[in-house]
Chain A
């Protein structure tokens, strides 16, 4: 089955700096890669996604890149703000599997 690894498990960055979270997947048949943000005690919310026929997608301060050959994809958040503090999950769909999460803390 699919195996998704996510790194780092925790990440602290100064407000205004960039944050990068990386995921690798094992199933070459996976073709959809969403990222979710989950604040404490709340539901996961889709923040950006990418399909396997695209290498990069950007939405304001958030971008996702995909390298199908290496089977890894990354989330990039620029100009971080305190409200970006949350747990972020990547996922890979062929057989939908989530990563283990990254706790991002923005230091004011």
Chain B
């Protein structure tokens, strides 16, 4: 089966500019996650969707970050305006999710990530 797709793979912008990332999860996966991974650190959850609803966005800096998953499939993450400290890899992951997911409900599969450099 096809994996999680993300684009672009790399992006360089200047501070105060805006940027958007796109993610297409594995077909049939109800849960979608966006993570920020700063070099040398573990992934930090930014937002979790279950279908098209937000489950957890407590660590999303809402003054500059926004995310949507309007049709419950693909998702976009936007940063506006960007700051230097936003330089990181943005990872998207998906899982089957609770309910019908069974024992594999929580297994997350990651996309290749988008490496963002803010100058």
Q: How far is the CA of A32 from the CA of B31 in the complex (A)?
A: 15
Chain A contact-residue range equals: 20 to 34
Which residues of A have CB within 8 Å of B33? 96
Indicate if the CB atoms of B41 and A101 lie closer than 8 Å.
yes
* B99 on interface, CB distance cutoff 8 Å: no
Question: Inter-chain contact count A-B, CB under 8 Å?
Answer: 43
Indicate if the CB atoms of B42 and A46 lie closer than 8 Å.
no
Q: How far is the CA of A51 from the CA of B43 in the complex (A)?
A: 21
Interface flags, A51-71, vs B, CB<8A=1, else 0: 100000000000000000000
Which residues of A have CB within 8 Å of B45? 96-98
Identify the closest chain A residue to B115 (Cβ): A41
A-B pairs, top 9 by smallest CB distance, nearest first, are A98-B42, A43-B110, A32-B106, A89-B42, A98-B43, A44-B110, A96-B45, A101-B42, A100-B42
User: Could you give 16 example pairs across A and B, Cβ below 8 Å?
Assistant: A1-B58, A32-B106, A34-B106, A34-B107, A42-B112, A43-B113, A46-B108, A46-B109, A49-B107, A51-B103, A93-B106, A96-B33, A98-B43, A98-B44, A99-B42, A100-B42
Instruction: Give chain B's interface residues, CB within 8 Å of chain A.
Output: 33, 40-45, 48, 56, 58, 91, 103, 106-113
